[in-house]
Amino acid sequence: MSNFLRMMYGRYGVDELSKLLFCTYIIIFIIGLFIKIFILDMVGLLLLFIVIFRFFSKNIYKRTKENQKYLKIRKKILKPFKNIKRNFKERKEAVYKKCHKCKTTLKLPLPYERGIKHTKCPTCKNKITFLCLRKQKIEIITDNERMKK
Ligand SMILES: [Zn+2]
């Protein structure tokens, strides 16, 4: 075993939380090249210290817990963006609506006529009213038709 590996044995290393802290440190460092703000420098140093501390930490259980907590928060924060991405990607196939009562997400396939629509939540049988702004039908143009034009 090399000296480095021996030193690293039983140490925690890098995880997603450390990556975030390190990226934040880099951003602060770059900002620091242009503007000198004492507190910002201190925050940067503190972040770097935490990253190094976590890297060499032997309390793997505690570090894992911290990382899990971070991942949970990150998932919560990123969820709306994920939904926006999904809604955009599937904008021609379906409309997504959330049941206010049980928070189940319903996938309502298009095409829908424009206007106020009613549907029932399959989980809690709650009646859902929603406004559909789109009237879309997926048109399939065959090669034959295209050739006629
Ligand atoms: Zn429901």
- CA–centroid distance, residue 108 to ligand 1 (Å): 14
pTM, full prediction: 0.62
- CA–centroid distance, residue 116 to ligand 1 (Å): 18
Q: Are 34 and 43 in contact (CB under 8 A)?
A: no
State the Cα–Cα distance between residues 149 and 144, nearest whole angstrom.
9
- CA–centroid distance, residue 84 to ligand 1 (Å): 21
- CA–centroid distance, residue 129 to ligand 1 (Å): 12
- CA–centroid distance, residue 127 to ligand 1 (Å): 8
Residue-level pLDDT, tens digit, the chain, 149 residues: 578 788 778 899 999 999 999 999 999 999 999 998 899 999 999 999 999 999 999 999 999 999 999 999 999 999 888 888 888 888 778 878 888 888 888 887 776 677 777 888 888 888 888 777 765 444 445 555 444 44
**Residue holding tokens 């090669």?**
143
pLDDT value for 42: 94
pLDDT value for 61: 95
State the Cα–Cα distance between residues 126 and 134, nearest whole angstrom.
23
